[in-house]
Structure 1
Amino acid sequence: MRRLLFVLLVYSVTLAWSDVKAQEASSAQSTPGAQRDSAPMEQDAVSPEVAKAEAAIVKSDWTTAEPILDSWLASHPADARALFDAGYIADAQARNDDAATLYRKAIAANPKSFEAQISLGLLLARTGKPSEARPVLWTATTLDPGAAEPSSKAKAWRALARIDIAGIDGKPDPAQASIDLLEALKLTPETPEDTLMAANLADANGDAAGAEAAYRRVLKSIPDSIAAVSGLAHLLIAQKKYPEAEEILQPALKKTPDDPAMTAQLAAVYVAEDKADALPMLQQFHEKHPKDVAITRMLAQVEADAGEYADSDQLYVTLLAASPRDSDLLAGHGQNLIRLRRYPEALKAFQTATEIDETNGEAWNGLAFAAFETHQPTITLHALTARSKYLPDSTFIYFLWATAYDTLHDKKQAVAYYHRFLDSATGKFPDQEWQARQRLAILEKTP
């Protein structure tokens, strides 16, 4: 059970760590108007009206600039420069739909406008539309930035790298993300954010040593980087370097005690080290953040492991109210019900869990035990047969096989499994071993 608990904890940690990476990537997106400085867009001529509006834009004086552009565009609707300027103003004021529409009009009027392409791409990426942003940003990398600095094109490559490492439709492309990042580094020096991205890419490509080195480089320049601490801790936990993970997580959590990812990771470390600290830490965090689902799941597991079955089950019941079709939650709920000796209810929970996910070996395991306790040998054998597809037989599982066959009067199979049980038990299950010997004495004498 402790092994199962730790696997589930690391699973939760991995999800939390992924969330941290996504949040850091999102926050790294350029803010509205980041492309614009006092340099004008490349164009043969600019009208006095647009020039006046741009002078106001440089001062962030939207109130002056916007009506001038609106008036000009009413009679010059295909002026790419004015359309971009209007889009820039809308972008700066977080009027995202208006900005996107105006940027698209500017691109239609002048497909070679680097500023309009990259501004639209960054806006789409920033507002959670990666599938739309990617082709626009890619086009931006093929255009001449003109008066813009090389760093502007590097922004497009970095935005592409973030999109590719996160993936579109749940399909990350770390190889392409690496190419994107290298293209950015050809244009501008490496930043700590680049190093963090390189660490994420190395981790995604299975290069643990490269990822660890990159995370440590980030922490040298930004010691308080939550993403770097969490990423490095993830690697250390995966390598079972628990003391090292604890060493970096403890001081980081003192500075940011409400961080769910690092809380989950430190709890996983404590569980792996058999320390009692995990339970109070998770309880305290849960009291402050009762709606944090990942931490609630972890707390339910840790409380069950600590023998607090009723408290644990209250959490499972709450979680199931929101996710009634979650097979893992149903299995955890069922395990608590078994420990609380509520076997018929446990049976129903495990049956539902296996109906939802027939590959859930732990749910089949629980169903076999619940059926054994409710004296239903046919269900026990069915559950054990399904379980064997996903989990190896253990000592007590041999006993369940034996008693189920014995109850159904299958003497040959019962004798075989009683012997397997006794051969592997070696005193660990004295009551069941006594029972097995008694049954064998009878069965092997019976003709």
Structure 2
Amino acid sequence: MRILAAVLLFSLPAAAQMEMPPGTTSAVPQEQAKPPASQATLAKAEDAIANGKYADAVTLLTPLATEAQSNARVFYDLGFAQDTLNHDIEAAAAYAKSISLKSDDAGARISLGLLYARMGETPKAEEQLRAATKIEGAEKDLLARTWRALAEIDLKSNPEMARNDLLSALKYAPETPDDAATAAEIAEAMGDDAAAEQAYAHAFSLSPASVDVALGYARMLTRSKKFSQADQVLTSALAQHPGNHALMAERASEQLLQGKTEAAVPVLESLHADEPGNAAVTMLLARAYSAAGSPEKAEPIYTALLKASPNDVTLMTEAADTLIRLRRSPEAEPLLQKAVSQPDKFPSKAALAQAAGELAFAASSNKDAVTVLKALAIREPLAPSSAPFTFLAASAHDTLHHTKQAAEAYRQFLSQSGGKYPDQEWQAQQRLQVLSRTK
């Protein structure tokens, strides 16, 4: 009955509410007896947010979020609710309005920065996050969170800056397992394999159950040819995550590098059957077939992959190698020419050198001496000279009647071969005799 009476009282006209018994006064000051409607609605919305009722919060806050609204908290709460509901555009607009009303709100800037990062708006994300780091009096945990977010953003484009970002974060908060993992990724991105291996070892000690850390640690160990240690890491991770496809694929990749194709092929076939759309697994399977001496199985896989990613230089190189193995060099040469014409797309100088070498062999099979020399010119500054490539150079110069260059290359080949290539050595000796009589 009391509740009903209160409801009825507040539903009466204003004049009626003032008609109280003589001598009666309110125990609450008049201005506090009833909070403003907007404040009451805001309180209800925040209660809805606290209880995970984000759609209800949006319904309550939207009428308050007008141009005349000067309370930044209304817009921040609305942005938070929309953000949680994955309404990115609406959330960004609300956060931005909150910041326009209260520019020193580090929480709003961080929320907007993180939202922009998820939306792929990296410059906008970095602008908001760096602005947050300059707000005086910002809470330490907010600053640590901001610098960590910046480290994640800078990781791919500027790993050195990412390292500085992470160091800044650690000034405000102790290291976490995620920090250790990020530090390892940064070291790997900077190309410091020794530091990356050490950092991954530390991260793995803190997070032995993390799949991503185990993958990174195993990858670095494999790169250092510490195959047994890499296998131990993957075995430990698989024991905690049985059947994890990423771990199984990494182990198969490691086995391929060790020449254990018989162990890798059935695992990759099973993974490919489960995930036919996984390009990384499909590519590993093609490599496994090629390494196992079954280029006829690898070729259709590479053809399908190239249709989906026609400008992938790694795919072009590996597909061309398979074609060469199938004695289809005329098809391989244009693929390799297209690949080496985009040197900046190769993951490393070694990969570019390998593609150029493949092109030299394909062009030689096609009796394209000019392309042989062009390919070798690309390879020369990237990889050490070796007898097979020296012989290709000698034969190309010989075909083009570059007498002096051919003779020099044949002599260099003979000094490098050491009896390992008897047929080519005999040919080089015969050609040197002929060339010596050429004036």
Same-fold call, TM cutoff 0.5 = yes
SS at match of 1:184: coil
Letter in 1 for 2:141: S
Task: Render the CA deviation track for 1:144-176: whole Å, top value 9, x for unaligned.
Answer: 678xx7534433333233223344xx6762332
Could you tell me which residue of structure 2 aligns to residue 155 of structure 1? 145
Q: Where do 1:258-407 residues align within 5 Å? A: 258-260=244-246, 262-276=247-261, 277-357=263-343, 360-407=352-399
Structure-1 separation of matches of 2:136 and 2:110: 11
The residue matched to 2:172 in structure 1 has which SS?
Answer: helix
- The one-letter code sitting in structure 1 at the alignment partner of 2:165 is A
How many Å separate the matches in 2 of 1:385 and 1:63?
A: 64
Deviates more, 1:347-356 or 1:93-102: 347-356
1:224 and 2:203 aligned = no
3-state secondary structure, aligned to 1:77: coil
| Closer/same/farther in 2, CA of residues 303 and 113 from structure 1, 3 Å limit | same
**Letter paired with 1:196:** A
Judged with a 3 Å threshold, the aligned counterparts in structure 2 of structure 1 residues 142 and 440 are, in CA distance, closer, same or farther, namely closer
1:177 maps to which of 165, 185, 188 = 165
Question: CA shift at 1:102, angstroms?
Answer: 1.3
Tell me by how many angstroms 1:264 deviates.
4.8
Alignment pair present for 1:435 and 2:427: yes
Counterparts in 2 of 1:371 and 1:143: CA distance versus 1, 3 Å: closer
**Alignment of 1:108 onto 2:100:** yes
- Compared with structure 1, are the counterparts of its residues 77 and 251 closer, same or farther at alpha carbon in structure 2 (3 Å cutoff)? same
2:161 aligned partner, one-letter code:
D
Within 5 Å, give how 1:66-77 maps onto structure 2. 66-74=58-66, 76-77=68-69
- For 1:36-75, what aligned pairs fall within 5 Å after superposition? 47-62=39-54, 65-74=57-66
Equivalent residue, structure 2, for 1:196: 181
Query: Residues 271 and 139 from structure 1, CA distance in 2 versus in 1: closer, same or farther, beyond 3 angstroms?
Result: same
Deviation at 1:64, TM superposition (A): 5.0
Residue by residue, what CA displacement relative to the aligned partner does 1:246-297 show, whole Å, maximum 9, x if unpaired? 111133245253443x445423432343323233333332232222223333
Pairwise mapping of residues 131-150 of structure 1 onto structure 2 (< 5 A)?
A: 131-143=123-135, 150=140
Note closer, same or farther for the CA distance 1:80–1:367 as it changes in structure 2 (3 Å cut). closer
**Per-residue CA shift, 1:9-67, capped at 9, x if unaligned?**
xxxxxxxxxxxxxxxxxxxxxxxxxxxxxxxxxxxx98333334333433334465444
Whole-Å separation in 1 of the counterparts to 2:257 and 2:64: 67
Q: Distance in 2 between matches of 1:423 and 1:353?
A: 32
State the SS of the aligned residue for 1:173: helix
Q: Is contact 1:367-1:383 (8 Å) kept?
A: yes
1:423 aligned residue (411, 415, 418) = 415
Matched to 2:411, the amino acid is H
Provide structure 1 residue ranges, at least 5 long, that are not aligned to the other structure: 1-44
Alignment CA distance shift 1:374-1:201 (3 Å): closer
Query: What is the CA–CA distance in structure 1 between the aligned matches of 2:188 and 2:400, rounded to whole Å?
Result: 52
Q: 1:116 corresponds to which letter in structure 2?
A: A
Contact residue 166 and residue 172 of structure 1 kept, 8 A = no
Q: 1:364 to 1:214 in 2, by over 3 A?
A: closer
Q: In the superposition, relative to structure 1, how do residues 414 and 112 fare at CA in structure 2: closer, same or farther (>3 Å)?
A: closer
How big is each residue's C-alpha offset from its partner over 1:352-382, in whole Å with a ceiling of 9 and x where there is no partner?
3344549944344333333333334444444
1:408–1:259 distance in 2 versus 1, CA, 3 Å: same
Percent pairwise identity: 36
- Equivalent residue, structure 2, for 1:244: 229
Query: What whole-Å deviation, never above 9, does each CA across 1:152-203 have from its counterpart, x for those lacking one?
Result: 4433333233223344xx6762332233322331xxx432222322333444
One-letter code aligned to 2:146? A
CA distance in 2, matches of 1:160, 1:233: 26
d(CA) in 1 for partners of 2:429, 2:118:
69
Alignment check: 8 A CA contact 2:38 2:64 kept: no
Maintained 8 Å contact 1:177/1:201:
no
Structure 1 residues 138 and 275, CA, compared in 2 at 3 Å: closer, same or farther?
same
Letter in 2 for 1:339: R
Match of 2:28 in 1: none
CA RMSD of aligned residues (A): 3.4
Deviation at 1:100, TM superposition (A): 1.5
User: Residue 73 of structure 2 corresponds to which residue in structure 1?
Assistant: 81
TM-score when normalising by structure 2: 0.77
Q: How far apart, CA to CA, are the structure 2 residues paired with 1:440 and 1:320?
A: 43
Structure 1 pair 258–52 and aligned structure 2 pair: CA distance change class (3 A): closer
Q: Tell me which amino acid in the other structure corresponds to 1:235.
A: M
Q: 1:92: which partner in 2?
A: 84
SS of equivalent to 1:47: helix
Aligned-pair CA distance for 1:245:
0.8
Check conservation: 1:377, 1:404, Cα contact below 8 A. Answer: yes
1:424 maps to a residue whose letter is Q
Deviation by residue 1:85-123 (Cα, 9 ceiling, x = unmatched): 222222232222112211211221222334433332333
Equivalent residue pairs, number: 395
Deviation at 1:229? 0.9
Query: What are the Cα deviations for residues 363-403 of structure 1, in whole angstroms up to 9, with x where unaligned?
Result: 44333333333334444444444443444332122322333
**1:445 positional shift:** 6.1
Give the Cα–Cα distance (whole angstroms) in 1 for the partners of residues 135 and 75 of structure 2: 19
Distance of 2:236 and 2:272 partners within structure 1? 20
Does structure 2 retain, via aligned residues, the 8 Å contact 1:157–1:184? Answer: no
User: More deviation in 206-215 or 94-103?
Assistant: 206-215
